[in-house]
Amino acid sequence: MQIPYEVQARPDTGLYNAKLGIWLFLASEVMLFGGLFSAYIFLRMGAEPGFWPLGLLNVPIGTFNTIVLIFSSVTVVLAWASLKMRKFADYKKWMGITIVCGALFLIVKLTLEYPAKFSHFGAYIEKDKWSKYEDYLGNKHLAEIKRPPRVEISGHLHGVEVRGDRAVIEDFAKANGLVVKEVSHHGEGHAEDEKKGPLYEVLHEKKGISPAKAEKLSKIKGVELVAFDVQLDAHNADPTNKNYDRANFIPPGLSEKRAIIKAEDVHSWSAFVPKHSTYFATYFMITGLHGLHVLGGVLVFAYFWGPGAALYRKNPEHLANRVEVAGLFWHFVDLVWIFVFPLFYLL
């Protein structure tokens, strides 16, 4: 039994089956992403002043990926048009470029964006301790210019200072490619600190220590996390610099300045992962889901470029219809990114 309107459009609607199906599917996708974007907006509106981070994403990389996706939307249309004109060689060329663009988007996301966040460190300071870290937060300056307070100190985690059984600490360090150094007590109340026992710094000689390993160390029974040794981000190293009053298009990066942050003064700390803040929870949820859509589109295109292209010899119009449907999905994926980019990267 032949299903009607697989290739030819219905005369009353002008749609063939697959095209009607993709529009119904995209309607459900609009509701999905619409709900996520709405949740993001309401969460941001309800956040306390200073607790919604700005300028933590790499805008040049986001801009590059935006250009890549927009270009891929053009090339998939050219691939479809080539099929309609029965230019199979051109179809293969333009579809191949579309696949490369989609793969490039994912490679950039997974090698340049996400890993940098997994290794970056951020510590939210207790509100009653902000004045203690004024040299790194610069809240007096921000209050003068009527900007929200800065509540977080971030940067590269050079090492963590801990107390406990040295043998246990050294076993952990050895297993994770780290070293242990005994350090002198410092800061306020150092006389009281000396009574609590030796202080050790756990670090990597060249790379520092990842926040994930620091968290794993802090959970070992009998090990007390005392302080963080942080190589500061530029805005924390020079918080009164007017260049850092607002987010920068090009991230200023790390400074050479380091700071010791006591664990008792920290409300919460982690890498820039979903649990770090509501901002990163929504960022990874929406960009991760979008990335899965990109991956799905690339896999479908790869099939139509490879094994699925054999349909051209049997029914070229049928293949053109399939590519058109996949292209509509791809345009929707690009449209979602057009909302993601300004919401997360620019605003």
Query: How close are the terminal C-alpha atoms of the chain, in Å?
Result: 55
pLDDT in tens, 110-135: 999 999 999 999 999 999 999 999 99
| Same-domain check for residues 33 and 51 | yes
| pLDDT exceeds cutoff 70 at 264 | yes
| Same-domain check for residues 235 and 111 | no
Q: Do the strands 179-183 and 199-203 form a parallel or antiparallel pair, or are they unpaired? A: antiparallel
Let me know if residue 11 belongs to a domain. no
pLDDT higher at 184 or 191: 184
Q: Which domain holds residue 259?
A: 121-271
Q: Residues 42-49: contacts with CB within 8 Å, 24+ apart?
A: 43/278, 43/282, 44/279, 47/278, 49/148, 49/149
| pLDDT exceeds cutoff 70 at 14 | no
| Same-domain check for residues 174 and 187 | yes
245, two tokens? 């009053």
| Same-domain check for residues 87 and 142 | no
Let me know if residue 5 belongs to a domain. no
Confidence at residue 244, expressed as pLDDT on a 0 to 100 scale = 85
* Domain harbouring 283, CATH code: 1.20.120.80
Let me know if residue 4 belongs to a domain. no
Let me know if residue 309 belongs to a domain. yes
| Same-domain check for residues 226 and 340 | no
| Cα gap 273→283, rounded to integer Å | 9
Let me know if residue 8 belongs to a domain. no
> Where is the domain boundary, 271, 300, 335?
271
| pLDDT exceeds cutoff 80 at 193 | no
Let me know if residue 12 belongs to a domain. no
Confidence at residue 10, expressed as pLDDT on a 0 to 100 scale = 67
Residues with Cβ within 8 Å of 201's Cβ and at least 6 positions away in sequence, in order, are: 159, 160, 161, 162, 180, 181, 182, 183, 229
| Same-domain check for residues 143 and 248 | yes
Helix (H, G, I), strand (E, B) or coil at 60: helix
Nearest to 236 by CA among 327, 319, 332, 120: 120
| Same-domain check for residues 290 and 191 | no
pLDDT in tens, 242-258: 888 887 888 888 999 99
Let me know if residue 335 belongs to a domain. yes
Helix (H, G, I), strand (E, B) or coil at 232: strand
Confidence at residue 273, expressed as pLDDT on a 0 to 100 scale = 94
Nearest to 178 by CA among 164, 160, 165: 160
Confidence of residue 186 (pLDDT cuts 50, 70, 90): low
Distances in whole angstroms, Cα of residue 50 to Cα of each of 61, 68, 149, 258, 329 = 25, 33, 5, 23, 38
| Same-domain check for residues 150 and 133 | yes
| pLDDT exceeds cutoff 80 at 40 | yes
| Number of structural domains the chain divides into | 2
Q: How many CB atoms lie within 10 A of CB 143?
A: 11
> Where is the domain boundary, 244, 271, 298?
271
Mean pLDDT value of segment 260-271? 95
> Where is the domain boundary, 246, 271, 296?
271
Residues composing the chain? 347
Distances in whole angstroms, Cα of residue 27 to Cα of each of 54, 73, 327 = 32, 19, 15
pLDDT in tens, 323-345: 999 999 999 999 999 999 999 99
Q: What are phi and psi of 229, to 5 degrees?
A: -105, 105
121, two tokens? 């460190």
| Same-domain check for residues 97 and 234 | no
| Same-domain check for residues 283 and 267 | no
| Same-domain check for residues 200 and 113 | no
CA atoms within 13 Å, Cβ hemisphere of 162: 28
Q: What are phi and psi of 51, to 5 degrees?
A: -95, 0
Nearest to 300 by CA among 332, 329, 337: 329
| Cα gap 93→108, rounded to integer Å | 22
Confidence at residue 205, expressed as pLDDT on a 0 to 100 scale = 73
pLDDT in tens, 166-178: 999 999 999 999 9
Q: What are phi and psi of 68, to 5 degrees?
A: -60, -45
| Same-domain check for residues 177 and 316 | no
- Output the pTM of the full model: 0.88
Let me know if residue 137 belongs to a domain. yes
